[in-house]
A and B are shown apart, each in its own frame.
Chain A
C-alpha cells in the first residue's frame, strides 16, 4: 500500500469520525433538551405528590425510583423543594410498606458504584424511611470521601439522637474532616447528645469539636461546662469555649467570664474573648447598659495589647458596644499608649464612615 493510500484512508476515517461527532453533538443537544424536559416534568409530579402527602400518589413514584439514578436525583430535588412535614413522611412510609423501596435502597447502599451508594443514603434520610440511620451510619466509613460526606449530610437530615451519636462517633474515629461533622452537629436537634458527650469525654480534641458545635447552636444548658472550660481547658478548648460563650449568653453571666479571659496568657484566647464580647451586644437586656460599660472599660485596656489580633478584635468589639464603646474609643484618643490611640482613631473613623454611609 502506498503512502498516499494510507493518508487517504486516514482522511476518510477521520472525516467519518468528524461527521459522526457532529451528529452526536446535535443529538446530545436534542437528548439533553428532552432529558431536561422529562426531569422537569418528573420533579413537578414528585413535588405535587409530596405536597399532597398522598400515599396513593406516591406509590407509583416510589416504584419509578427502583434502580433509576435520574429519577432518584429528581426525587432528591423535589424533597428539597417541599417542606418536610410529618404527613409527608407518613405518606412516604405507607407507600414504602407496599413498594419496599427502602429495602432496594439498602441493597443499593452496598453496591460497587459510589454515586448510587451515596444517593441511597440521601434518599432514605430525606424520605425518612426505615433503617435510614443504619444505612447512613454504615456509609460514614465508606471508602469514597464523597459517599462519607453524603452520609454525614443524610444523618443531619435525619436529625435524631441516634444520628447525632453516629456523627459524634465519626468525630472520634476521624473518618472525615472534623469541620464537616461539627457543622452538621451544630443544630438544636443534636444538642442533647453533644452535651452528653461533652460531659463524658476526656479527649480535649473531641471536647473542642463539641464546643464548636455548640457555638453554632447555642444552648444555655452548656453554660457551666463552657465557663469551666474557658478557665481550665487546654488552649484549643479555651479558645472555642470563649467564642461559644459569646453566642450563648446571657450577658450578665458571660461578661465577667469573658472579661477575665481578656487577661489569658494565650493571645488567641484574648482575641476570641474580645470578639465574643462584641458578639454579645444586646441593648434590649435590662442589665446590658451596666455590663457594656464594664466590658468597654476592659476592652479599652486591650487596645494596647502586645498582640495585633487582640487589638483589632478589641477595637471591633468596642465599635459594636454602642455608646459605652464609643465613649471608651473617644477617651482612648488621649491614651499615653500609641497603639491604643491609633486603634481608637481608626475605629472612630470607621464608625463615622458607616454612619455617613447609612
Chain B
C-alpha cells in the first residue's frame, strides 16, 4: 500500500477520534446542564400558579395558528381538541393553504362558517387571501382560505390577521396538553423580554386518545416509533434545555412554539423559501434583534407538551429526516455570516459553529468515518483490538448519554408510568446504537447530497394523516410529522 494513502487514513482516523471526543464531551456537558435545569424547573412548580394564568382574563391572549393543507380527515378532530384548551383567552385561526381534498368543505360543514371582514394587522407579503370566515358554532374559531403557498406562507397569513399579542404556531396533526399554553404564557408574563418559547414534543403513537384528549400514555408497539421516542427524549431533555439555559437555543419546533407577534412582524415572519422555516426563524430572530441591539430571550421548557404522531414506516421517516437536514443546512448557509461573530454573542461564537460542525456536517463525518474505519481495518492500517476498543468506547458513550436522558425523564416527569414501558425504553436505548443511528446518519448525509445537487422542494409534500382517532393513536398509516424536529 502507498505510504501516503496509509498516512491519510491514519490522519482521518485521528480526526474522527478528535470529533468523537469533542461531540461526546459536548453531549455530556449539555446533559449535565440540562439535568440541573430540569431539577430547578420541577422544584419551582409549587410556586407557579399556572391555573391562575389559564383562568385569568388578564393573561396574555394567544392566537393559535393552524396552517393546514389537505387535512380533511383530521382537521375537525384536531380543532375540537384545540378549542377545548383550558385557557382564558385564545382564538384558533386555521389557515387553509389551498387544499384540494375538501378541507374547506369539511370546515364549513363542521363549524358553520360565515364570511366575515377581517382586517390584516401587519403587512407581510403573502399569497392572496380568498376569504375569511367566523364559525357559527365556536366563537373562538376563525378560518382563512388562501391560495396555496406552503406552510410558511400560511403561517405568515395567520400572523397578518392574528389579533392577539402572542401567536402559537402548531401543526394541524398535533395535540396540545391542556396546561401547555398556560405554562408557556407564564414565561412571557413573568419575563417580558421573552420573544419566543417552545415546549417539548412527545410521540403519541401507542397512547390512548379519546375525543381529542390524551387519556393514558403508553409506548407504541412499533420499534421504529419507540426508537424515535428515545431520540426525541435525548434531543429535548438532553439538548434543548441546556441550549435554552445557555441562551443559545436555535430551534423551536414548528409543531409547537409561542412567539411575541410584534417581534415576528418586525423580522418579516416565517421565510417561505426555506424547508426548515421554524429553525430559520429562530436564528433570524437572534440575528435581527442583535443587529438592532434588542434583547432576544428564546427559551424552551420541558413540560408544556405537544403530542405528535411519529412515522412508523422507514420510508416516511427517512423523508422526514431528509427535510429536517436540508432545513438545517439552509438555515446555516443563510446565516453563515453569524459564524464566529462576537457581535452575536454566544449564539454566533458557540451555537452556530456547533450546529455547523456537529449537526450540519456531522452526519457526513460520521458516515465517512465508518467507511474509512472499515477500509483502514481491511488494509491493516488500524489493528483489530484498537478498532474494537474504539467501537466499544463509542457504544458505551452513546449508552451513557441515552441513559442520562432516560434518568432525567424518570426522575422529573415519568410520562411513561409502567415498568413495561420503562423496560421498552431501556431496551430501545441499547438497540438504537446498532443500526438505527447509523441509518439516520446515512439518511441525513443523503439529504446533504441532495441539497448539494440542488434538488428538493419547499412545498407541503404528500402527507397521509390518520388522525388521533378515538381509541389508540394511529399506527397503521405513515404520517410525516414534518416539523416536530429534535436536533439529533
Give the B-binding residues of A (Cβ under 8 A): 3-4, 7-8, 10-11, 14-15, 17-18, 21-22, 24-26, 28-29, 32, 73, 76, 114-115, 118-119, 122, 145-147, 149-150, 153, 177, 179-180, 182-183, 186, 212, 216, 308, 312, 342-343, 346, 349-350, 352-354, 356-357
Contact = CB atoms under 8 A, between A and B. Distances in A.
12 contacts: A7-B389, A14-B396, A15-B399, A21-B403, A21-B407, A118-B46, A145-B190, A149-B190, A183-B57, A183-B59, A308-B117, A352-B136
B47 A150 contact: yes
A14 B397 contact: yes
Contacts of B390: 7
Nearest to A180: B189
B392 A353 contact: no
B115 A346 contact: yes
B393 A353 contact: no
Given A18-B403, A21-B400, A25-B407, A8 B189 contact: no
Interface residues of B, number: 47
A136 to B, nearest CB: 13
A2 B139 CA distance: 73
B426 A25 contact: yes
B48 A146 contact: yes
Contacts of A119: 46-47
A356 B56 contact: no
Contacts of B136: 350, 352-354, 356-357
B406 interface: yes
A32 B414 contact: yes
Contact of B52 (A122, A145, A183): A183
Contacts of B403: 18, 21-22, 25
Interface in B374-405: 383, 385-386, 389-390, 392-393, 396-397, 399-400, 403-404
The prevalent SS among residues of A at the interface is helix
Interface in B32-47: 43-44, 46-47
Nearest to B51: A80
B27 to A, nearest CB: 12
Contacts of B46: 73, 76, 115, 118-119, 122
B400 A29 contact: no
Interface of B: 43-44, 46-49, 52, 56-59, 112-117, 119, 134-137, 189-192, 383, 385-386, 389-390, 392-393, 396-397, 399-400, 403-404, 406-407, 410-411, 414, 419, 422, 426
Given A149-B49, A177-B192, A346-B116, 7 more contacts: A4-B386, A14-B397, A18-B403, A25-B410, A29-B414, A183-B59, A357-B136
Contact of A354 (B137, B407, B410, B426): B137
Contacts of B43: 115
Given A14-B393, A21-B403, A346 B386 contact: no
B392 A149 contact: no
Interface centre among B43, B114, B119, B397 (most CB of A within 10 A): B114
Nearest to B136: A353
Contacts of B44: 114-115, 146
Given A183-B56, A346-B117, A11 B396 contact: yes
Contacts of B422: 25-26, 29
A76 B52 CA distance: 15
B400 to A, nearest CB: 5
A142 B52 CA distance: 21
Contacts of B407: 21, 24-25, 28
Nearest to B411: A28
B244 to A, nearest CB: 17
A247 B113 CA distance: 30
Contacts of B385: 4
B369 to A, nearest CB: 16
Nearest to A186: B58
Contacts of A216: 57-58
A7 B393 contact: yes
Contacts of B392: 7, 11, 15
A146 B186 CA distance: 11
Chain B CB within 10 A, most for which of A145, A147, A183: A183
A194 to B, nearest CB: 15
Contact of B410 (A17, A32, A115, A147): A32
B301 to A, nearest CB: 14
A4 B389 contact: yes
A153 B51 CA distance: 11
B150 to A, nearest CB: 28
A115 B113 CA distance: 49
A150 B46 CA distance: 9
Counting chain B CB atoms within 10 Å of each CB, which of A115, A212, A350 scores highest?
A350
Nearest to A117: B47
A9 to B, nearest CB: 10
A50 to B, nearest CB: 18
B114 A346 contact: yes
B402 to A, nearest CB: 9
A15 B396 contact: yes
Contacts of A114: 44, 47
A166 B393 CA distance: 60
A353 B112 contact: yes
Nearest to A28: B410
Contacts of A343: 117
Contacts of A115: 43-44, 46-47
B400 A14 contact: yes
A24 B403 CA distance: 9
Q: Which of B403, B411, B426 has the most CB of A within 10 A?
A: B403
B189 A29 contact: no
A73 B136 CA distance: 44
B115 A349 contact: yes
A8 B383 CA distance: 14
A183 B58 CA distance: 7
B189 A177 contact: yes
Nearest to B391: A11
